[in-house]
Amino acid sequence: MAIGALTPPQDEMPQQEAFVEFPDNRLLIDLCGEYDRNLTEIEQKLSVQIVRRGNQLVVMGDEDAQKQAIEVLQALYTRLEGGRDVEAADVDRELRMGGSETGTGSRDGDQLEMFKGGTVEIKTRKKLVEPRTDAQKAYVQSLFNNELAFGIGPAGTGKTYLAVAVGVSMFIGGHVDRIILSRPAVEAGEKLGYLPGDMKDKVDPYMQPLYDALNDFLPGKQLAKLIEEKRIEIAPLAFMRGRTLANAFVVLDEAQNATTMQMKMFLTRLGEGSRMVITGDRSQVDLPRGVQSGLKDAERLLKTIPNISFNYFTSKDVVRHPLVAAIIEAYEADAGRETG
């Protein structure tokens, strides 16, 4: 790749141009995306204009924005040179993380891979999962480096998704013998009444987000077999009482809906050779009025204990539809006015 700048005469005063050259025209086509959608995304996010001229991309706009756009383009092209695809999520990740991450390596090379440029990838059976924000990257690293980790923040920030991905990665790598996923069976503000069917039929609707994540990382038949063999368990929080969870990767989702006693019960299930992840959103507590959230108590009581990490996300880490971040910010602003 070659980089250069075209500076026009001062009396003409057109927009300043910078160009970057890509030697492989086939990879350049993939870099641009179908109907140049990748270039369009970069243009909109960075307020630049990108024009293709042969095997060059010319970037026009503010000097700082030009520099960032070129870094993003180079990072995506390097990804293509490594034999990996470039999808919309990859463009979004590079735009959020500056296009030029730096990494320091990993303690567990077979679990958490640092590629050139510091990209973090989690290996699962069906796909490679990559954090898309700096907070997500720090969170993933803490999941591998700490026996107990908390992920706290608004909906759509990947707290549960990344935790399950790491769990699957550690399971297929032989670092744990089983995966245990749990969440409180608390209705979100509406009474659903008695559900029909056996116990599994009754609790599965509460657990569906965990099944959805697993289906992203494991083939259907393999997942069904592992669940049948109890090597992957998905169960309500109440079912954890009295157990010792050894050699397992354990995730408690929606932990803001656990009471103080339930949280204490769950945390003390941690056994030898296990990792435990607690995820929750303090703004979405569905407990009855006057009942203290166990997640809030855990934050207060455990922050000074070594080998327990607390990872926080904000609306800037939302990786769902862009409107989700705007909605979260609007509600946070309204809550701030009410308490101010």
Class of domain 2-97: alpha beta
**Per-residue pLDDT, 177:** 96
**Per-residue pLDDT, 200:** 63
**Per-residue pLDDT, 251:** 96
**Per-residue pLDDT, 15:** 62
Q: What are phi and psi of 175, to 5 degrees?
A: -85, -20
DSSP 120: E
How is residue 165 written in tokens?
A: 């991905």
Parse the chain into domains and list their residue ranges.
2-97, 112-339
Alpha-carbon torsion 255, 312, 170, 248, what sign?
A: negative
Strands 308-312 and 148-152, by their bridges, are: parallel
Q: Are 38 and 91 in contact (CB under 8 A)?
A: yes
Instruction: Confirm or reject CATH 1.10.540.10 for domain 112-339, answering yes or no.
Output: no
**Per-residue pLDDT, 229:** 95
* Burial label, 10 (beta-carbon count in 10 A; 0-12, 13-18, 19+): exposed
How far apart, in Å, are the Cα atoms of 163 and each of 124, 142, 301, 307? 12, 10, 23, 17
Q: How many helices (H) and strands (E) does the chain have?
A: 11, 13
**Per-residue pLDDT, 104:** 37
- pLDDT 10s per residue in the chain (340 long)? 666 655 555 554 456 788 889 999 899 999 999 989 999 999 988 999 999 988 899 999 988 889 999 999 998 999 899 888 888 888 988 888 765 444 333 334 444 444 334 567 899 999 889 898 999 999 999 999 999 999 999 989 999 999 999 999 999 999 999 999 998 877 544 444 555 665 566 667 778 889 999 999 999 999 999 999 999 999 889 889 889 899 999 999 999 999 999 999 999 999 999 999 999 999 889 888 889 999 999 999 999 998 899 999 998 898 877 787 788 888 878 777 766 5
